[in-house]
Amino acid sequence: MDTNWIQRFPLLYALPAAEHWFSIQINLGLANATIDAYGRNLVDYLRFCLQQSMVIETATREHIAHYVHHLANQPLARPTAERQVGLANATMQQRLVTVRLFYDFLVEEGIRTQDNPVRRGVYTPYKGFAGYRDRGLIPHYQKLPWIPSDEDWNQLMTYLKTETLRNRLMFALSYDAGLRREEVCSLQTGDIDPSRRLITLRAEATKGRRSRVVPYSVATGELYMAYLRQRQSLSRNRGPLFLSESRRNRSMPISIWTWSKAVQTIARKAELLRFTSHTLRHLCLTDLARAGWDIHEIAQFAGHRHTDTTLIYIHLSGRDLADRFQRSMNSIHVQRLALLHGITSTIDPN
């Protein structure tokens, strides 16, 4: 039993059925980020059940509806001008998926005799509704990811300069290679080839369980060599590349939560609260699209199985689209004027 998960989710381990289900997810070899999301989501539901004096095993659809109402109306820790209360649609979807999987387990194990109280929508892209028309508990919205403007990026760089060498390198690699936070935190010293400036991402460290090789820039290479010299003060052993510098966990591998907190600190200083560790990946893939990369090339670079996933990550800002539209219209305008000139030049002046 992993004591790290027990310390992180004590409430989850207090319920035998929840502990059993969660242990299965760990043993299945899911990515740490997925396991962490499952744990956080289920703990949130368990805490709600305790507050409402609900019997988890016998919850009804009415109880689940109360939980959805709770998610949609709970105060936000960091309210924005757009939303003061209620979780984002994607977060609510994620919470409900975890609860549904948990109840699937309870039904299969015979712990629950009724059907799963979390209604499942059977709609799938490009296939429509299989059988009868049934929808999930809440509508699914797919919003464009936020990416920083050039001004935002310059502001971030101002505060990044004050960060530790480790954090600067992790930031640079995350953008350069479009890495997920799990990928950058799980890098090993042997994964990087400084002579060719290439990173080998091992299959077990990626979300899609597909290995890939990606490049990084000269500037990032300089940061890498400087960090290696500093890393020797923490450990001379090969293994995890990024190590903790704190007194409590000195020389231990850095966790995804530590990295997320480091990025949040930078974003808070720069007053860009929407900036997260995943924003770097969004920005990288968007910049590749701006540079004229083909969608299939970007998908391979990102480690996506399907280009549909890549399209979710890539978006051009309104300013980008306006500039492209203007260039296209100017080009068409020149062509039309040329044709018009050709017509008028044939007119007999007499």
Predicted pLDDT of residue 227: 95
Residues in a beta bridge with 188: 240
Q: Say if residues 260 and 151 touch (Cβ distance below 8 Å).
A: no
Sequence-separated contacts (24+) of 193-197 with Cβ below 8 Å? 194/221, 194/224, 194/225, 197/221
SS (H, E, C) 19-51: HHHHHHHHHCCCCHHHHHHHHHHHHHHHHHHHH
pLDDT of amino acid 280 = 93
Coil vs helix vs strand at 261: helix
SS (H, E, C) 205-220: HCCCCCCEEEECCHHH
Predicted pLDDT at 336 = 65
DSSP secondary-structure letter at 128?
A: E
Per-residue pLDDT of the chain (350 residues; tens, 9 = 90+): 567 888 889 999 999 999 999 999 999 888 788 899 999 999 999 999 999 999 999 999 999 989 988 988 888 776 665 666 788 878 888 999 999 999 999 999 999 998 999 876 544 444 443 444 445 566 665 666 788 888 999 999 999 999 999 999 999 999 999 999 999 999 999 999 999 999 999 998 888 888 999 999 999 999 999 999 999 999 999 999 999 988 888 899 999 889 999 999 999 999 998 899 999 999 999 888 888 888 899 999 999 988 887 887 776 555 555 666 666 666 766 666 666 666 555 445 55
CA dist 286 → 184, 208, 312, 313 (Å): 19, 20, 10, 7
Q: Give residue 188's region: left, alpha or beta (phi > 0; psi -120 to 50).
A: beta
pLDDT of residue 58: 92
- The whole-number pLDDT of residue 137 equals 60
Distance CA 183, CA 165 (A): 18
Model pLDDT, residue 1: 53
Q: What share of the chain is helix, strand, coil (3-state, %, to 5)?
A: 55, 5, 40
3 state SS of 226 = helix
Radius of gyration of the chain, Cα coordinates, nearest whole angstrom: 25
pLDDT at position 123: 42
